[in-house]
A = this chain, B = another copy of it.
Amino acid sequence: MTGADANAKPLKAEARRAALRKLLIAAAERRISEDGLGALRARDLAADAGCALGAIYGAFPDLDALILEVNLRTLALFEAALGPDGGGFDVTNAADELVRLGQAYLAFAQSHGKRWRALFQHQFADGRRPPDGYVAEQARLFRRIEAPLQALRPDLSAQERVLLARSLFSATHGIVMLGLDARLMALPPAVVGPQLDLLIRAMATGLASRA
């Protein structure tokens, strides 16, 4: 290295790696969206991005990291689909907001089926922790649920509210997931929305009654 700056050396190289990363992410997004996570092949990605097979491993440590990047973008896409955080709920519209969030989740899962499924189909190897962005994105989404919850149940502590928000999401997620998955269950697609509405409203009613 010539200059005093240790980072000066791989300037162009890093720029090209970043460009390749974008190409690979775009290719992986397309493959996952069209054919599902299970159909993702390293050789296809290399062909799509116009790079050598081994070049993938110069841009990402492994395919898992690439998938993680796609999943992170999927989460961001969903947050964008939720629109800006309205805030300010009271006991009269809290249940409606919970229903709205649930229906938005269902709509996103339906319109981005393969991509949304990849979020949960993908397993972290061993005990690998999810990256920071993942956890941060989750927290932002859960806060969307906590807001109307606070209006519905002002008596709950912050910690209780956090836990309940996660549980509410889990219940919603279960209905959406098994509703769209033909493996077990097979709820007719047309009834998933009404059922989700019914159960979220029931939970809101039951929670509000201090059961």
Contact = CB atoms under 8 A, between A and B. Distances in A.
Contacts of A124: 182-183
B183 A199 contact: no
A172 interface: yes
A109 interface: no
Contact of A204 (B38, B175, B206): B206
Interface string A180-211: 00111101000100011011011111110101
A209 B168 CA distance: 20
A72 interface: no
Contact of A170 (B130, B174, B205, B209): B174
A30 to B, nearest CB: 21
Nearest to A182: B124
A107 interface: no
B187 A163 contact: yes
A59 interface: no
A42 B205 CA distance: 51
Given A123-B183, A202-B207, 19 more contacts: A38-B123, A138-B184, A138-B185, A164-B195, A164-B198, A167-B187, A167-B195, A168-B199, A170-B179, A171-B171, A174-B174, A174-B175, A174-B177, A198-B207, A201-B206, A202-B202, A202-B203, A203-B206, A206-B206
